[in-house]
Structures are given as structure tokens and as C-alpha cells.
A and B are shown apart, each in its own frame.
Chain A
Amino acid sequence: MSDTLIDAKNLRVSYRSGKGFVDAVRGVTFQLGKERLGIVGESGSGKSTIGRALLKLLPSARITADRLNFGGADLIAATEKQMLGIRGKRMSMILQDPKFSLNPVQRVGDQIAEAYLVHTKASKVQARAKTLEMLEAVQIRDPERVYGLYPHEISGGMGQRVMIAMMLIPEPEVIIADEPTSALDVTVRVQVLGILDRLVTSKGIGLIMISHDLNLVRNFCDRVLIMYSGQVVEQLAARDLFNATHPYTKGLLAAQPHIGGARKQLPVLRRDPAWKSELTGVVR
């Protein structure tokens, strides 16, 4: 019985544009086990599109693949009704900015409880108890008080922890985190990632971390996919990132300034048009 949670082969996502189609994701192949997989790319690389395509949250896009399995379910063939049973319950998504992903007119505790009630046959009392438990698990010190707060009354870091609680409460198998810490300050970032890490590891959840930040992914993930122009140009273990071979990855690593680094000109990434052409065959 394999440990593979998601098996994607040749995933392609296109949008209608004018008279033809434009590919946002072109022939991406990867597997996700009970590990932390990072998908890194710049804007326009297609990384966020992959996350949303897995949850089929792109109504206007055409999603095709040779294979897109999630724990036995075929995501390509899945109907909207079947997807409703998967989204939130078996696979969920943490978004970037809690200011925009939390309902501003509902108390945060109620939102978390609702996530639980939608996917299980629990009673309201049970849901409340479970919510308080989750709030403690994300290291919120005063769960009773925070339960009754509105999103505008909590800080960014706390909001993101609320989101984590909300997404983890139905005990999914896979979590997709789309730039979960980009809107947070550095000191808070480390704390939030630590919480996410602990919860994900202890419950054996597969995590896909989508980010533009190489440092983040290097420190936090087990494996990394580097994306450029809709394709995966390199796949490697996070600790091997500095031994990357693809010129785009090396270019990205070199372009980042470091504390205490040299003051000379930052090497400018020269984009080779050959990187845009369709890669054929072998996945490294």
C-alpha cells in the first residue's frame, strides 16, 4: 500500500484567450507522499494555478492530465459533487492573507466550527469543543476569548493560525499552502511555520507549500519543485538546493542578497528562451 497521496502526470491547465488557449501549467509531473513538498516560482510560473487545479477551483480553465490521482480518486473525472466531498474534508488550502480569506462578519470561532460541522455529523457543542482544542493546538493562548473575536480584531499572525486551525480541523490528508506567510512579518513567520510543521508532521498530512521564497522552501520543505513558465524545470531535495544544476534555479539562488554577503553586483538572471520550450520526457 503506497504512501503516495497525490500522483500527477502531465498535468496541463489552460485558459481560453481570444480564439485559442493559453497554457498556465504545461505538462507537470510529480508525486506527493506524507512529506512537505515545496513548489517555487516567480509570478507567472504557474505555481498557484497547480494548487487551485488540484482542488478544481478554476471554473474557467481546462484541466487535463494523463493521471491525477488523489488517494484513489481520479480528480480529472471527478464531478463537482465528488469534489465537494474532497475539498476541505480530504484536501484543503491555506491562503495568503487572513484579512481576505476570513469572513469579516463572522466570529473566528464560529468559522472554524463551521468548517467542522460541514464535514462531520457532529453537534454544535462538539464542534465548539473541537474548535477550542484546535485553537490550543495552534498555540493561541486564550482560546475561549479568541473564539469570540472578529477577524479585524486579531493580528495577521493570529489570523493565519486561525486559518490553519480551520483547515486542519476536518483532518484532511493533504494541505496546500499558497504563500501562507508572505503577508506576515519575519518574526511571526517563523512561529507560524513552526506550528504548521508540527501539526503536519504529527498527523502525517501531506503538505504542498507554494511560494516565491526560496529561503522559506529551503528551510521548511523536504523536496522542492522549481517552476518556470508553467513547467517544472528541476526537482530536488531541499537540502540539495545549493547543488542545483538547472541554470534558472542557480540564477534564482545567486540573485538573492544575503546578510553579510559580498557587495558586488547581484548576478542578473539571464532568461534563456530555451527554458520556455516544452520539456519532453524525463523527470529528474
Chain B
Amino acid sequence: MAKLSVTLDGAALPAARRTTPLTRLGSTLAHLWRDPSSGFAMVVIAILLLTALFGPFLASHDPILVDLPNALKPPSAANWFGTDELGRDIYSRIVYGSRITLFIIFLVSIIVGPIGLIIGATSGYFGGWVDTAMMRVTDIFLSFPSLILCLAFVAALGAGLENAIVAIALTSWPPIARLARAETLTFRNADYISASRMQGASNLRIIIKSIMPMCIPSVLVRITLSMASVILTAAGLGFLGLGAQPPLPEWGAMIATGRNYMLDSWWVVTFPGVAILLVSLAFNLLGDGLRDVLDPKKH
């Protein structure tokens, strides 16, 4: 049932395709699915999500139950990925560890996205000393290698998963802010912004309603790409003993403790390592795919 609207010159407008956010999400997912690399990424991420969701049902053993007689057993029918140095089933620890990984990614993104967006958009829109001040602060954060800065924060805050997340977030927001600022600079002088000003919109209103929505696609892509490095950083912190504390089955921490037994019991580090590899790769590929899909020139 096509709805036609007639305009003054008699030409009919084609029926509007109702694009709600849900349909736009649907078509984005469909596009991503079509490309093999982002399709693979979606599969891996879906597995991650389902594993985290249904963890207790998928795990075969209790992830933190110590069982010393069973220590360092190779992969077998009883323990699919073998056991670690305390006899804990590695497969189950990986399954429960996926929750931790997801927790880290989610929290970091929630913190970093809005902060980076607001700072970048404000900075780019106002220019002048506001821009200078904010960007110098950003530069300070950017001038440190992120892992080192993370270590510094964790050292100050104390070891632990939550503090690790805060530390990672504090080092991840600057690139987002820079990106949002760069985007804002490209359309800050556009006619539609001038039109908003002429209608009496306050600066706050313009930033929130007109500027930030335009920055969101790039920011989204950037966050997705940085999830890979977030995971690796968390794993790195865990490896250094500064992230998740035992007995939490965080993948990086598993590698950390497992490396002492690496030469004789390869399975203790390999499986967590592969898990980290797959998830980082998946987010990288997803970010790439998203960038192609959200590229306005394609439309």
C-alpha cells in the first residue's frame, strides 16, 4: 500500500521507507553479515555473548574449585581444555572468563564513548581557548603510552578488576575526543548549524541535537576498534597481576599464572591465549566492517 504525496508540480514522492532506529540496525547487521570478514566477526561475538549469557549451563565444572590431584592434566574427555596448576577446569574458566571480558568491554565503552564525544564536540564547536584548554589536557593523556599510564592509575588506585577498568577507561577516551573534535570541525560552519543559531538555539542545544548525532558513526567505529586493544590491555594488566585478582578466571590472569608451566603443559596458556586472539580479532574486523557500512558516501 504505497503512500504517495503530491507536490505542487504534480510529481509524486515515492512512499517513505519508515526508517526507525530498529530497521536501520537491521539493515546495518544485514550488510555486515554479507561481508565474510565481518560475518566471521559477528559469529565470534555472538558466541562470546551467548557464552557469557549461558555460562553456568555451558561450563562443565566449577571454575574456582581447587582440585589438586587433578592438576595439569592435558585435554581429555573429562576436561576438554585440560586443567591448570590448581586442578581447575580450563574450559569452564574460559566460559566464565567471557563474562569478565564482556564486563570490561561494556563498562569501558559506556564510560569512554560519552566522555570522548562530549569533550570532542564541545572543543570542536567552540574553538578558541575552550578548544585549546581541552586539547592540551587530551594531549597530556595521549603523551603517555597507554599501558604505562594504566599501570600508573592501577598503582594509585590499587589492584583489582574495577580499578583496572577505570584505569583503562581513563586512557582510552583521548582518541575518541580527538576524533569527535575532528568530525565537528568539518561541519561546524555548515548552513544547518547557522540556521539553528538563527532560530535562537543555545550552544548546548546545538551541540547535543545537531553536532553529536553527526559524530556518532565515527565514534562508534572507533570504540569498536578500540575494544580489541581494551581486551589486550586488560589481559596485559591481568598478566602483570594488576587486573583481575585470583581466583577470578580472567583470561589474561590465566596466562600469567600459567606461564610458569608453559613448557610442559602447553594447554594452560594456549586456550586463554586463543580466546583473547579470537575476540580481539573479531572486534577489529567488526570495526572495519562498521566503518564501511556507516560510510556516508556509500549512500
Residues on A facing B (Cβ under 8 Å): 268-271
CB-CB contacts below 8 Å: B1-50 with A: 8-11
Main SS class of interface, A: loop
With A and B bound together, what is the CA distance between A270 and B11 in angstroms?
9
Q: Which residues does chain B contribute within 8 Å of A270, judged by CB atoms?
A: 9-10
A248 to B8 Cα, complex, angstroms:
17
Neighbouring A residues of B11 by C-beta, 8 Å: 271
Q: How many residues of B contact A (CB 8 A)?
A: 4
**Nearest CB of B to A278, in Å:** 20
Q: Which residue on A lies nearest to B12, using beta carbons?
A: A273
Known pairs A270-B9, A271-B10 / 6 extra A-B pairs, C-beta < 8 Å: A268-B8, A268-B9, A269-B9, A270-B10, A271-B9, A271-B11
- What are 8 contact pairs spanning A and B, CB under 8 A? A268-B8, A268-B9, A269-B9, A270-B9, A270-B10, A271-B9, A271-B10, A271-B11
In the complex, the chain B residue whose C-beta lies closest to that of A273 is B10
Cα distance A226–B62 when bound, in Å? Answer: 80
- Which applies to chain B's interface (DSSP): helix, strand, loop or mixed? loop
Contacts of B10 in A (CB 8 A): 270-271
Inter-chain CA distance A268–B11, complex, in Å, is 13
Query: Smallest CB-CB separation from A272: which chain B residue?
Result: B10
Bound form: Cα–Cα A269–B10 in Å: 10
Q: How far is B10's CA from A150's CA once the two chains are assembled, in angstroms?
A: 49
Note all chain B residues with C-beta closer than 8 A to A271: 9-11
With a CB–CB cut-off of 8 A, which chain B residues contact A269?
Answer: 9
Smallest CB-CB separation from B11: which chain A residue? A271
How many residue pairs link A and B with beta carbons under 8 A? The number is 8
Report the Cα distance A270→B10, complex, angstroms.
8
Chain A residue with Cβ nearest B8 = A268
Q: How far is the CA of A270 from the CA of B8 in the complex (A)?
A: 10
Residues of B within 8 A of A268 (CB): 8-9
Chain A: minimal CB distance from B90 (Å): 50
B60-80 vs A, Cβ < 8 Å mask (1 yes, 0 no): 000000000000000000000
Q: Closest CB of chain B to A8's CB: distance in Å?
A: 30
Complex-state Cα separation, A123 to B151, whole angstroms: 64
| Distance between Cα atoms of A271 and B10 in the complex (Å) | 8
In the complex, A270→B7 CA distance in Å?
12
Measured in the bound complex, the distance between the Cα atoms of B9 and A271 in whole Å is 8
B163 to chain A, nearest CB (A): 50
The 8 closest A-B pairs by CB, nearest first: A270-B10, A268-B9, A271-B11, A271-B9, A271-B10, A270-B9, A269-B9, A268-B8
Question: Closest chain B residue to A269 by CB distance?
Answer: B9
In the complex, what's the smallest C-beta–C-beta distance from A130 to chain B, in angstroms?
39
Complexed CA–CA distance, A100 and B174 (Å): 34
- Chain A nearest CB from B161 CB (Å) reads 50
Q: Which residues of chain A have C-beta atoms less than 8 A from B8's C-beta?
A: 268
Considering the chains assembled together, what is the distance between the CA atoms of A270 and B9 in angstroms? 6
Shortest distance between the CB of A252 and any CB in chain B (Å): 14
Rounded to whole angstroms, the CA-CA distance of A269 and B9 in the bound complex is: 8
Q: Complex formed: what's the CA distance from A75 to B196 in Å? A: 52
What's the least CB distance linking A58 to chain B, in Å? 18
**Distance in Å from the Cβ of A22 to the closest Cβ of chain B?**
14
Cα A269 to Cα B11 in complex, Å, equals 11
Shortest beta-carbon distance from B140 to chain A in Å: 35
Tell me the complex Cα distance, A101–B184, Å.
28
Min CB gap B27→A, angstroms: 14
| Shortest distance between the CB of B128 and any CB in chain A (Å) | 27
CA distance A271 to B12 in the complex (A): 11
Instruction: Give chain A nearest CB distance to B224 CB in angstroms.
Output: 29
> Shortest CB–CB separation between residue A7 and chain B, in angstroms?
35
CA of A28 to CA of B9 in the docked complex: distance in angstroms?
Answer: 27
Distance in angstroms from A248 CB to nearest chain B CB is: 13
> Shortest Cβ distance from A87 into chain B, in angstroms?
26
B297 to chain A, nearest CB (A): 15
For residue A268, which residue of chain B has the nearest CB? B9
B43 to chain A, nearest CB (A): 27
Taken together as a complex, chains A and B put the C-alpha atoms of A271 and B6 apart, in Å, by 13
* Distance (whole angstroms) from the CB of A255 to the closest CB of chain B: 11
Least Cβ distance of A66 to chain B in Å?
32
Nearest-neighbour CB distance to chain A for B42, whole angstroms, equals 24
A57–B9 Cα distance when bound, in Å, is 35
A242 to chain B, nearest CB (A): 24
Closest chain-B Cβ to A220's Cβ sits at a distance in Å of 29
A268 CA to B7 CA in the complex, in Å?
Answer: 13
Q: Quick one: which of B128-180 are within 8 Å of A by CB?
A: none
CA–CA, A271 and B11, complex, Å: 8
CA–CA, A191 and B104, complex, Å: 67
CB distance from B9 to the nearest CB of A (A): 7
Least distance between A18 CB and chain B CB atoms (Å):
14
Question: Please, which residues of chain A bring their CB within 8 A of the CB of B9?
Answer: 268-271
- Docked Cα-Cα span, A170 to B287, in Å, equals 48
